[in-house]
Amino acid sequence: MTVELEIPYNVHARPETGLYNAKLGVWLFLASEVMLFGALFSSLILIRTSAEHWPRGWEEGLNIPLATLNTFILIASSVTVVLAWANFRLGNVKRGRLLLLATLACGFGFMIIKTIEYYAKFTAVPPHLPSTSNFFALYFTMTGLHGLHVLGGMILFAYLSGPGFKMWEKEPERYVNRIEVVGLYWHFVDLVWIFLFPTLYLL
Amino acid sequence: MAEKRQVRVGREWLAPRDAEKALREAIRVQKEQERHHQLEHHPLGFWRTYVFSTDHKWIGLQYGFTALCFLLFGFSLMLLMRLQLGWPGHAFSIMKVLGETRAPGGNLLPEAYNQLGAMHGTIMVFLAIVPLAVGAFGNYLVPLQIGAPDMAFPKLNMASYWCYLSGGLVMLASFAAPGGTAQSGWTSYPPLSVIASQGQTWWLFGMILLITSSLLGSVNFIVTIIQLRTKGMTFMRLPFFVWAQFVTSFLLLLAFPPLEAAGVLQLMDRLAGTSFFLPSGLVVSGTRLMNAGGGNPLLWQHLFWFLAHPEVYVLILPAMGIVAEVIANNTRKPLWGYKSMVFATVFLGFMSFVVWAHHMFLTGMGTAISAFFQTTTMIISIPSVIILSSLFLSLWGGSIRFNTPMLFALAFLPMFGIGGLTGLPLGLAAADIHLHDTYYVIGHFHYVVAPGTIFAMFAGIYYWFPKITGRKMSERLGKLHFWMSLIFINGVFFPMFIQGLAGVSRRLYDGGAQYAHAQPVLKTNVFMSVSAWLLLIGQVPFIINFFKSIKWGELVDSNPWQATTLDWAATTSPPLAHGNFEHLPVVRRGPYEYSVPGSETDFIPQHAVTGEEPQGGGGMLVQSAVAQKEA
């Protein structure tokens, strides 16, 4: 007995929507992520506006030069992931894989700098901890949650350039789709940082 | 004298009744063979088939069974609370199950009462009703109704169930935490929840797992409904149930993340010593809290209700979807105003995001904000009324079949009506000043969810039971279950309106015994408690019926209710173990083509080719058997 088991539009786009399943899925996921970070930003606004005094980031010893460097690292990683996707589409496997690894390296760079920043806060005298003030509470919660998202993206890139690369041989189109979907997520993670950086460090 | 007619089966001549029996037996054997045949072709092993299954039907059943267990568990917590409320200060030996720390000598302690209340709400909302309405019914039926071989992301679907189960187990484990489980109400308002015992931390971890589960589920549902509709299944040909699930999924997708954020913030408050929700200068039991301060307890309320109001519609929309299916099928006519119902549902979904602060009229938000939320609250009642009125009008002129699913669906209408209409005074800021936090509120939302949503769930279980098992549940036990449930559930919840109007507050450990204004209505407490225990007895026929019918229920053919939607008409009952359809059906018409003038049968399945005999009954099976022989 034959039964239709294959799930439609797993790889190719459905004509009416112009999307394959995973791409629609990731857009919906990002919509929920917008709500998650939106809630955190709203909380920040509410707590900040009701505070008698709200410190500026530099007054509290946030390292603006390092954070600026981090911003550029993330922006660079956004470029490399798009180039990786484009190269895989064109069939330039080697360069595509290299760019994927470059993206992963950028993620590493970001996390290392973030660790240096955190370390400086914890070892300051007196130490700056989440419990020190609501400013640091928000700083650690928001950058921490963002850091977890970066870490998640790095795991995905490590998988795609490592064990997940096998898919390229069998189903190249599906593999390229995966890179596109992870790339969309990665752009979102960058975008969150683009908002976090001025809100916490500059304003 | 009428001649005794006989039917030839094989070589023998049998009486019609025996022939029918033989035929049913043949159908059963054939179905089993098909099942075996399929499993042989796709050997997955025990674990992949029954435990870590990625098949939407099996995941739906896993969800359903787990959720029903939690439903009973949540109900039993309430039964203990009702004992305390009916006879405060009286020792009950059954209370001893809670242990010496909670009920020494069978006397329930106040803090244990709070634990029962908080966990009753949490379990019923997040572990019972939503997983049953969305996880179970949605998972099982949506792919079948839209003509899809499975959900769009089967592995995510499995992950969603396992996140849900782990969240549930964390919640259960929290009862063993030092100081007991969460006790700050299902709303977990700070600052009390922040300074509460360890159980609250477990509660927060459990919630984060549950939120993850519903996030995975909702992405899956939306993608499935948009992408996997079969050929010809346009949006306006979707059964109303699918529309309800579609809008519900958007609510889950967009309303839950703010609660996740709030949960993270409360975890930080509890574990990292931050003060997101703790104001400056908070004094607890005579000592000043050594926190940084500057936080805002209202921030939690805003984030919580931003989820929890859409959550109300998550509870009710799938129920409306089920009721719509059952009513259309059992009135044998199309739904009245299908399009207006669809548009009302979508509008309801949008509006549900801008009404949340009507839960907070008494927090001193200011009159301008109150006026805004009061207005949006009045506006959102319009789409609900459109849907309910359409369902009522659908009954007009129908030749109604009063079977068990239909009885539950019919009872849903006035019960949800009472629940909805009693909500209007709560939505008006002035009236809410008197009614806020009284038993009136409890009565209101329980009418929406208990005789509303839960009755719809029962209607769904009785209605789709033959789909899942190939057997019908007993009508006699079903009707007994229905009448007992209907009478006693009203006995539980109606007096709450009377108590609430008299001003009796909710969350009172003694049911109001020490308040002068509660004295005239105190007697109703005993009445409600007795009704609650009788309601438990009323569920016994259901439990017996459920398990008995799985094995011994009356065997039926694939489309016993003669329904038009694809779940019944285009596949066998029980459906194929994998892939749902031998060939994806092509949809040719709307979902409710009942009693079409000029048609030979009173129903035309969505995929039937006009001019031909519409396929009903076991036709599908016979066809597949023939196809099998040819192949």
CATH of the domain at A105: 1.20.120.80
State the smallest CA–CA distance between residue B147 and chain A in angstroms. Answer: 11
Query: Given this model, what pLDDT does residue A1 score?
Result: 47
In a domain, A195, yes or no: yes
Enclosing H/E stretch for B14: strand B12-14
Rounded Cα distance between B169 and A79, Å, is: 43
Q: Are B328 and B399 in contact (CB under 8 A)?
A: no
- The tokens for B241 are 């149930």
B187 CA: distance to closest CA in chain A (Å): 18
pLDDT (0 to 100) of residue A61:
86
For residue B284, the surrounding DSSP H or E stretch is strand B283-284
Given this model, what pLDDT does residue A24 score? Answer: 97
Chain-chain contact of B219 with A28 (C-beta, under 8 angstroms): yes
Backbone angles phi and psi of A98, in degrees to 5: -60, -45
Contact B296 A47 (CB under 8 A): yes
Q: Distance between the two ends of chain A, CA-based, in angstroms?
A: 66
Instruction: Mark which residues 135-174 of A lie under 8 Å from B by CB.
Output: 137, 140-141, 145
Cβ-Cβ pairs closer than 8 A, A with B, add up to 150
Nearest to B582 among A2, A19, A35 (CB): A2
- A3 domain-assigned: no
Do the domain assignments include residue A9? no
Give the pLDDT of residue B616. Answer: 46
Using 50, 70 and 90 to split pLDDT, how confident is the model at B199?
very high
Determine, yes or no, domain membership for A11: no
Structure confidence by residue, pLDDT tens digits, B440-469 = 999 999 999 999 999 999 999 999 999 999
Residues in A closer than 8 angstroms to B264, CB to CB, are 141, 145
pLDDT at B21 over 80: no
Mean pLDDT of A114-131: 94
**pLDDT greater than 90 at residue B47:** no
Nearest CA-CA partner of A13 in B222, B587, B227: B227
User: Does the distance separating the beta carbons of A134 and B274 come in below 8 Å?
Assistant: yes
The yes/no answer to whether this complex scores an ipTM above 0.90 is: yes
Report d(CA A138, CA A43) in Å as an integer: 9
> What is B107-128 written as a DSSP string?
---HHHHHHHHHHHHHIIIIII
Task: Count Cβ neighbours within 10 Å for each residue of B494-529 and write b for 16 or more, e otherwise.
Answer: bbbbebbbbbbbbebbbbbeeeeebeebbebbeebb
Cβ-based burial of A2 (10 A; exposed 0-12, middle 13-18, buried ≥19)? exposed
Range of lowest pLDDT (B41-55, B85-99, B365-379, B467-481):
B41-55
For tokens 């975890």, name the residue: B267
pLDDT confidence of residue B40: 56
Q: What single letter denotes the amino acid at residue B164? A: Y
Instruction: Tell if the CB–CB gap between A39 and B258 is shorter than 8 Å.
Output: yes
A15 lies in some domain: no
**Inter-chain residue contact B582 with A7, CB threshold 8 Å:** no
HEC profile of B327-354 = HHHHHCCCCCCHHHHHHHHHHHHHHHHH
Q: Is residue A97 part of a domain?
A: yes
Q: Are the C-beta atoms of B143 and B566 separated by less than 8 Å? A: no
Tell me whether residue A13 is in a domain.
no
Tell me, what's the pLDDT at B37?
A: 63
Contact B272 A131 (CB under 8 A): yes
Amino acid B619: pLDDT: 41
Asked if A4 and B582 come within 8 Å (Cβ–Cβ), the reply is yes
Helices (H), B352-438: 367-395, 404-421, 424-427, 429-435
Beta bridge partners of A19: A14
pLDDT in tens, B354-403: 999 999 999 988 899 999 999 999 999 999 999 999 999 999 999 899 99
Mean pLDDT value of segment B574-602: 90
Task: Read off the amino acid at residue B608.
Answer: A
* Cross-chain CB nearest to A40 (options B41, B261, B291): B261
Band of residue A59 on the pLDDT scale cut at 50, 70, 90: confident
How high is the pLDDT of residue A57?
Answer: 87
| For residues B584-612, average pLDDT | 89
Confidence of residue B631 (pLDDT cuts 50, 70, 90): very low
**What's the pLDDT score for residue B629?**
39
The DSSP output letter for A125 is S
Residue B508 amino acid letter = L
Quick one: which of B158, B313, B311 has its CA closest to B220? B158
Work out the percent of chain A whose per-residue pLDDT is above 70: 98
Instruction: Tell me whether residues A24 and B149 touch, CB distance under 8 A.
Output: no
Shortest Cα–Cα distance, A21 to chain B (Å): 6
Among the listed ranges A75-79, B66-70, B362-366, B526-530, which one has the minimum average pLDDT value?
B362-366
Tell me which chain B residue has its CA closest to the CA of residue A139. B274
**What residue numbers bound the domain in which A187 lies?**
21-49+64-202
What is the predicted pLDDT for the residue at A203?
A: 86
Q: Mark yes or no for CB contact B294/A7 under 8 Å.
A: no
Could you tell me the pLDDT band of residue B201, with boundaries at 50, 70 and 90? very high
The whole-number pLDDT of residue A60 equals: 87
Q: How far is CA A44 from CA A51, A57, B89, B307, B332, in A?
A: 11, 14, 46, 18, 55
Q: What was the pLDDT predicted at B579? A: 83
Instruction: Out of A25-29, B42-46, B175-179, B281-285, give the one with best mean pLDDT.
Output: A25-29
Supply the pLDDT for residue B615: 47
Residue A57 lies in a domain: no
The Cα of A163 is separated from the nearest Cα of chain B by a number of Å equal to: 19
Share the mean pLDDT of chain A. 94
pLDDT tens for each residue of B107-133:
999 999 999 999 999 999 999 999 999
The answer to whether the CB of B456 falls within 8 A of the CB of B412 is: yes
- List pLDDT tens digits, range B314-346: 999 999 999 999 999 999 999 999 999 999 999
Sign of CA dihedral A152, A156, A161, A163: positive
Contacts of B257 in chain A (CB under 8 A): 32-33, 35-36, 38-39
pLDDT averaged over every residue in chain B: 91
pLDDT digits (tens, 9 = 90+) for B95-106: 999 999 999 999
Tens digits of residue pLDDT in B298-312: 999 999 999 999 999
Residue of B nearest to A24 (CA): B223
- Is the CB of residue A49 less than 8 Å away from at least one CB of chain B? no
Distance CA(B564)–CA(B413), nearest Å, equals 23
Pick the residue from chain B with its C-alpha nearest to A52: B294
Q: Which helix (H) or strand (E) holds B13?
A: strand B12-14
> In this model, does residue B178 exceed pLDDT 80?
yes
Cα A160 to its chain centre, rounded Å, is: 16
Question: Structurally, how many domains does chain A consist of?
Answer: 1
Cα end-to-end distance, chain B, whole Å: 49
